[in-house]
Amino acid sequence: MIKKILIILLIVTALTFSGCVESTENTLESAEDIITTVDDISDTIDDIESDIADTPQIEPSETLVIGAFNVQIFGVSKADKPEVMKVLADIVRTYDVVAIQEIRDASQTALPELVDLVNTDGSEYDYIVSERLGRTSSKEQYAYIYNTRTVEITGIPETYPEPEGTDPFHRQPYIAAVSSTQGNFDAVLIVIHTDPDEATEEINDLDDVLAYAQSVYPEENDFVVMGDFNADGSYFDEDSTSDLDAYHWVIDDTVDTTTKSTDYTYDRIVLTDNSDLTGDSGVFRYDLEYGLSEELTTDVSDHYPVFATFSINEIED
């Protein structure tokens, strides 16, 4: 009400001093017109204020959560299971950027369907996706799903170009540079899903991929190599040396990244620089977080997602 009175007084005063009001009768008619107009304006303002009040307020964050998730044969069959897709959407929302592996979908529909579901709660996620990769007819894709409110893609995402005459990877790693929209953290991400039968060789060849990425982004210090390395069990000797030993393995040999009765650390995150790492990292036990049955847990995937949390407000990055 006070808002209306103030607007009326201001308009009438303006009309009076501008010579627009010539008589008491005209003044009353003008005032009635003004009141009607102000009522309309006030209702519009109230609607706008209500919309603003209903809009979720995004609190600036001081950290960025990055990780990887092998979703296990992610395609139209899995996308047709609403309860599984809901869990996947909930998982994605816990990340600022997550590297998805084992997308097997010739129709190219499952991934956009998942991202659309993620955004049904008002979130604003987007994705970039690699070409279909693999030496056999069973092709896979990598994708980075990211929160556009906190992360932006910089540079041009690319699949690692294997040197001519070589074929070290069944599925070449996918490389993308990212930057925080709310701080000064940036990094180059490299995701890999190794072939189990050649896991040791492919893990050692990741050093060449890292060197390539460093040549493309010579000013960058933060490189994050992650994904399903198959780095355990009969596929990889954890006690052996690796060409990546010089770097920081965030997910160490003590962690179980499988959802079934097995106890293997297949999934890894390796950092060239851990100065921005907050210390919060590990496996996201979505079964415990969401109270899922064992059946639904394994329907979602035979892997748990892995993650690492980074500070975005360091003085230098």
What span, in angstroms and rounded, lies between the C-alpha atoms of 164 and 103? 26
What span, in angstroms and rounded, lies between the C-alpha atoms of 162 and 208? 9
Show the tokens assigned to 143.
Answer: 């994708």
Bridge pairing between strands 151-159 and 97-103: unpaired
Q: Of the listed 102, 170, 193, 303, which one is catalytic?
A: 193
Residue 231 dihedral angles phi and psi, to the nearest 5°: -95, 55
Q: Is 131 a catalytic residue?
A: no
C-beta of residue 312 within 8 angstroms of C-beta of residue 184: yes
Output the CA–CA distances (angstroms, integers) from residue 283 to 35, 81, 89, 156, 289, in the order listed: 62, 24, 17, 29, 12
Question: Amino acid letter at 303?
Answer: H
**Closest Cα partner for 101 from 81, 130, 124, 123?**
130
Show the tokens assigned to 243.
Answer: 């060409």
Q: Is 140 a catalytic residue?
A: yes
Q: Is 248 helix (H, G, I), strand (E, B) or coil?
A: strand
C-beta of residue 244 within 8 angstroms of C-beta of residue 236: no
Cα three-residue angle 144-148-150, rounded to 5 degrees: 100
DSSP string, 52-82: HHHSPP-PPPSEEEEEEEEEEEESHHHHT-H
Q: Of the listed 102, 140, 202, 220, which one is catalytic?
A: 140
What span, in angstroms and rounded, lies between the C-alpha atoms of 110 and 85? 10
Mind telling me the catalytic residues? 140, 193
